[in-house]
Amino acid sequence: MSRIMTVLLLSFAVGVGPLLVDAGAAQVPGFAGTPAPESTGADRYTVAFQPSAASLSTRQKARIAEIARYWKRQNATGLRVVGFGETGLDPQASLSLSKARAEAVRDELRKNGIRPEYISTFWRGGNGPSDHLGIHEDDAQNSRVDIQIVW
């Protein structure tokens, strides 16, 4: 018997009527008083980088550690790490930068106890949101790595 059926049967048995379950609703993550990492959308988190940089600051490492702790508490199947580079760079240089960023985040996730087989790593060069919109002036949107929880 599915969990939803069990909940519905129990709710009728105790006289509270049917419970409506929103399967797409996010659960409140964390333990008592522990906030979830700040999300940029549904189960997607961003680690921002300085332009042309691929090394992680202490603050970025702390953010990645927080994301790793959150992931470990979930019933997720993996993490998808996608690096982006600047659009103003030579395409090959941007691709190399996005790869270095993605690998830096992947390595930090591993240091925080996530086994390699749970991490898929990709890099896209300057092909990010500011690039596909045709807005090349602000590379801040591309100076990042996105981490997505895979369910």
Per residue in 50-78, pLDDT (tens digit) is 999 999 999 999 999 999 999 999 988 99
Whether 62 is in a domain gets the answer yes
Whether 92 maps to a domain, the answer reads: yes
Strand partners, 123: 83
Count of domains observed in the chain: 1
Q: pLDDT for 86-101, tens place per residue?
A: 888 899 999 999 999 9
In a domain, 19, yes or no: no
Residue 115: domain span: 34-150
Residue 78 pairs with which residues in a beta bridge?
Answer: 150
pLDDT tens for the chain, 151 residues: list them.
443 333 333 333 333 333 222 223 233 233 333 344 454 445 899 999 999 999 999 999 999 999 999 999 998 899 999 999 988 889 999 999 999 999 999 999 999 999 999 999 999 998 765 544 454 545 667 899 999 999 8
Would you say residue 61 lies in a domain? yes
Farthest CA pair distance, the chain: 66
| Helix spans in 20-124 (H) | 58-72, 91-111
Residue 89's domain is classified under what CATH number? 3.30.1330.60
Question: Does a structural domain hold residue 25?
Answer: no
